[in-house]
């Protein structure tokens, strides 16, 4: 299986809800989003509002199995854009797993 993708970690295609809470520059704002893919170092989201690059967020993703812990992480918005079809996407870099 060869790809042109130069990432160090493979991305898993998922479609699961995540909860985001801002840490900086303004703390305590909450957002709901859909995580569309996840890797060891980042995630890609679809959401209803455009996030500003460099915003720090607390990310919470519930587990799909009772024996698996939910994902809790601190992440930074690397990119955010509104696509031609109106979808808002964001790419987050995971800074730390909590």
User: For the residues 30-44, what does the mean pLDDT come to?
Assistant: 95
The dihedral of CA 57, 28, 47, 37: what is its sign?
positive
Tell if the pTM clears 0.95, that is, is over it: no
Query: Is the per-residue pLDDT at 2 higher than 50?
Result: no
23 within 8 A of 16, measured Cβ to Cβ: no
User: For the residues 56-78, what does the mean pLDDT come to?
Assistant: 94
Per-residue pLDDT band for 3 (boundaries 50, 70, 90) equals very low
Per-residue pLDDT band for 9 (boundaries 50, 70, 90) equals low
Cα angle 1, 78, 62 (rounded to 5 degrees) comes to 75
């Amino acid at each position: 299986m060869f790809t042109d993708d130069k990432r160090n970690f493979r991305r898993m295609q998922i479609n699961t809800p995540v909860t985001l809470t801002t840490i900086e520059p303004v703390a305590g704002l909450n957002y709901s989003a859909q995580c569309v893919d996840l890797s060891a170092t980042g995630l890609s989201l679809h959401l209803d509002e455009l996030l500003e690059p460099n915003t720090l967020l607390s990310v919470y993703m519930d587990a799909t199995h009772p024996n698996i812990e939910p994902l809790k992480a601190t992440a930074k918005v690397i990119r955010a854009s509104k696509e031609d079809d109106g979808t808002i996407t964001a790419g987050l870099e995971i800074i730390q797993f909590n």
